[in-house]
A and B are shown apart, each in its own frame.
Chain A
């Protein structure tokens, strides 16, 4: 496997970070059959969930609110005290045929040293035949009680139109800091 760096975006009190084919040197098309997004030290201005959504080519420049996502979500977590270690499905974080932004991880804390990091893989976004499968794994310090959370989010975008735009944001407030690198996988 080889990764080819396509674009790096760095947040600075940004509402969203977006990779759009044809803009700012981003090529997000059929050059690769899989793309990876590596998000590192994403720090929220407000403690909240880290999310993504896409636009299909028939909604270019849209508001990331038309592609229907169905995904599962499970996570392992442990408090710094050593208590409450568990792995479980999280029904509150999945979605079924929803055009909402998809949660990559819950409640990232916004203390100065907190953030989340992970990798989202999107398979064959340029297909005009198949729905688009994705998988992500994200680590964070969990809001409210100093937990570590290892979250696994996977599913599909139920759209047979090509996908060529992707957006990342927190549920509430800006992305205070953090970097996302977009890679093509070959």
Chain B
């Protein structure tokens, strides 16, 4: 075994991509490869949330950190900095990952990976880490690292991805188990 493909999910002007099967105790680590998610709306943020087994709604409590490296295409503004606008302390909002301010011009999108550890655990909170890169609407490259935990000891069995405004015009998410 190793990286085991479970399913793929392709957006077509979709409000969200919700994966509601295949996350269970089979693996203690799941990886999501998020490829070229393109927003219908300009200057929006790609996000995820989860739902605990037997609960309703994607609204679990998340504590997270985020920091970004970015550079404008004209060569200016290169820096690395913590992003207080994208973290949350015991928040229930969808969590920003991959990039901020993704543009919706034809060649703009975001891509990256999200790792979710031990979602079926009924003992521990669930750690996650995400790394992504995107094309900011102002013609910046933005690299974003997000890490944290979902503060529930209930099993997590559903995950949802969406932009924080407007639809996912296109893009594909591949889900793998690691075992």
| A166-183 near B? 1/0 per residue, CB < 8 Å | 000000000001010101
Interface membership of chain B positions 115-136, coded 1 if the CB is closer than 8 angstroms to chain A and 0 otherwise:
1011001011101110000000
**Do A38 and B148 have beta carbons less than 8 Å apart?**
no
Contacts of B3 in A (CB 8 A): 1-3
Q: Which residues of B contact A137 (CB under 8 A)?
A: 129, 147
Contacting pair B117 A40 (CB below 8 A): yes
Question: Which stretch (B38-46, B59-67, B167-175) binds chain A?
Answer: B59-67
Contacts of A115 in B (CB 8 A): 124-125, 127
Determine whether the beta carbon of A181 is less than 8 Å from that of B178.
Answer: yes
Output the nearest chain B residue to A177 by Cβ-Cβ distance: B123
Asked if residues A117 and B127 are in contact (CB atoms below 8 Å), the reply is yes
User: Is A4's beta carbon under 8 Å from chain B?
Assistant: yes
* A26 at the B interface (CB under 8 A): no
Q: Interface 1/0s, chain B 54-84, versus A by CB < 8 A? A: 0000000001111100000000000011101
Given contacts A81-B89, A115-B124, A139-B128, is CB(A148)–CB(B149) below 8 Å? yes
User: A63-71, A72-80, A125-133: which lies at the B interface?
Assistant: A72-80
Other-chain contact of B65, A1, A41, A76, A119 (Cβ < 8 Å): A76
Residues in B neighbouring A22, C-beta threshold 8 A? none
Chain B residues with CB under 8 A of A179? 28
Q: Tell me if B29 counts as interface (CB < 8 A to partner A).
A: yes
Does A104 reach chain B (CB closer than 8 Å)? Answer: no
- Chain A residues with Cβ under 8 A from B82's Cβ? 76, 85-87
Q: Is the CB of A113 within 8 A of B179?
A: no
Query: Within 8 Å of chain A (Cβ to Cβ): is B153?
Result: yes
CA distance A139 to B148 in the complex (A): 7
Contact partners of B146 in chain A: CB under 8 A? 150
Kindly supply a per-residue 1/0 record for chain B positions 1-38, scoring 1 wherever the CB is within 8 Å of any chain A CB and 0 otherwise: 11100000000000000000000000011000000000
Interface SS of chain B: helix, strand, loop or mixed? Answer: strand
Question: Given the interface contacts A5-B1, A80-B90, A148-B149, does A141 sit within 8 Å of B125 by beta carbon?
Answer: yes
Contact B123 A82 (CB under 8 A): no
Q: How many residues of A contact B (CB 8 A)?
A: 40
Does the CB pair B65–A78 fall under 8 Å? yes
B178 contacts A139, CB within 8 Å? Answer: no
Contact A116 to B127, CB < 8 A, known contacts A40-B29, A78-B89, A139-B117: yes
Please, which residues of chain A bring their CB within 8 A of the CB of B160? Answer: none
Q: Is A20 an interface residue (CB 8 A)?
A: no
The answer to whether B88 touches A139, judged by C-beta atoms less than 8 angstroms apart, is no
- For the complex with contacts A140-B127, A181-B178, 9 further pairs of A-B residues with Cβ separation under 8 Å are A40-B117, A76-B66, A76-B145, A78-B89, A80-B90, A86-B82, A114-B125, A139-B147, A139-B148
A-B contact pairs, 25 of them (CB 8 A): A3-B2, A5-B179, A40-B118, A43-B124, A76-B82, A76-B147, A77-B65, A78-B64, A78-B89, A78-B148, A80-B89, A80-B90, A81-B89, A82-B89, A85-B84, A85-B87, A113-B153, A115-B127, A116-B127, A139-B128, A148-B148, A150-B147, A177-B123, A179-B28, A181-B178
